[in-house]
Amino acid sequence: MQHMCLTPEKIQEYLDNALPHQEKQDVSAHLASCSQCHSEAQEYSRLFSAATSSAKKQMQNAYSRASVDAIMHRLPGARTADQFLNSDKPVPAKFPFKLNWFWIPTMAVVILLIIFNHTKSVPDSELPKMPVPQFSLLENSVEVVIGEPPPHARTIIKPGIEVKLDSKTMILVGVAKHKFKFTPGSVFVINNNEVELTSGDAEFVMVGDHENFKVKTPLVTVVPIGTSFGVAVKSWGVKVDLKKGRVDLESFTGNHQNLETGQTLYVGADGNFSADIPQPPAHTSPDNSSRQQPANSQPTGTTDSPAKLIDSF
């Protein structure tokens, strides 16, 4: 047969997941039966993989704290976005009038102290590279517990590259004597001395030196101090439970909290800590969001997950 049954455009739309459901099924069935189209699709699939790899690499440009701080400092603070858009003049500070004369010299002293004690700021491009701490996650090894991790995470986790585990895969990552367990469905990135857990569940056992090690989630940063702890990023917030030792938590709003052994804390989207699962906002978006669980639903814990079958620590 000389002619391809599927056009290159159709194959690309299929690989782009841009076809309507029925058409996608038809194409899928055809690819299963036509070796020529199947081969063509494989070639495009290789191209797509190279494109994805290239694009992800280009997006890896990590933010500098200074840049993010600069953005946050330029935001109007307590003002709503509406006020920011519509106001012609800055919102006046709300100091009590009679305290103004107290605060002005006080602030002046504080500012002077900051200027004298702060290191000289340099442009982002000249920021010295952070010295590699003695504790580093770069020398790690992967042990596959079940399933199949993505190709780039089968033996070692490379820094800065996102790892997405499917629903049937669990891995252990060893760094010196420390052990991390990433459960099915978790998504994370390992950097020099921190783990960014975007979603899913992970457990961490720290043994020995782990200076500057952190676990970052969208809502809270966990700083362990000689500990074994678990972090779960859910749709309603983040859950941190401490098995041994102590951790310091800092939410994205700057709230701090210490966690004691055996304690579990939850962090909501507003950055507040609580002993209970956070409630979803009262006025949820009109979109489907039936995914927001009611208050009494159980968190997706590990009661029935394969994690319980594994006692590796």
* Strand 264-267 to 256-259 pairing: unpaired
Query: How would DSSP label each residue in 63-108?
Result: PPHHHHHHHHHHS-TTS-HHHHHH-SSPPPP---GGGHHHHHHHHH
Shortest distance (Å) from residue 36 CB to another protein: 15
Query: SS3 of 36, please?
Result: helix
Helices and strands, counts by H and E, the chain: 6, 12
By residue count, the chain amounts to 313
For residue 261, the minimal CB distance to another protein (Å) is 28
Rounded least distance, CB 187 to another protein, Å? 5
**80 vs 296 by CB, closer to another protein:** 80
Residue whose structure tokens are 């961490």: 204
CB of 164 to another protein, least distance (A): 7
Local structure of residue 271 (DSSP, 8 states): S
Indicate the helix (H) or strand (E) that contains 267: strand 264-267
Which residue, 84 or 103, is less far from another protein as judged by CB? 84
In whole angstroms, the minimum distance from the beta carbon of 88 to another protein comes to 14
User: Residue 136 has which token pair?
Assistant: 């580093």
The CA distance from 244 to 3, in Å, is 66
Shortest CB 139 distance to another protein, Å: 24
Beta bridge pairs of residue 173: 142, 180
CB nearer to another protein: pick between 68 and 113: 68
CA distance 11 to 17: 10
* Smaller CB separation from another protein, 53 or 312: 53
Q: Distance between CA atoms of 105 and 49, rounded to whole angstroms?
A: 60
CA dist list (Å): 297 to 12, 152, 230, 272: 41, 36, 20, 20
Interhelix angle 21-33/35-58, nearest 10 degrees: 120
**Residue 81 belongs to what H/E stretch?**
helix 81-86
Q: State the nearest-atom distance from the C-beta of 168 to another protein, in Å.
A: 13
Q: State how far Cα 274 lies from the chain centre.
A: 21
Please state the closest distance from residue 125 (CB atom) to another protein, in A. 5
Q: Which is nearer to another protein, 173 or 267 (CB)?
A: 267
**Partners of residue 110 on adjacent β-strands:** none
Closest to another protein by CB, 60 or 141: 60
Question: Between residues 264 and 300, which has the closer beta carbon with respect to another protein?
Answer: 300
Q: Cβ closer to another protein: 10 or 178?
A: 10
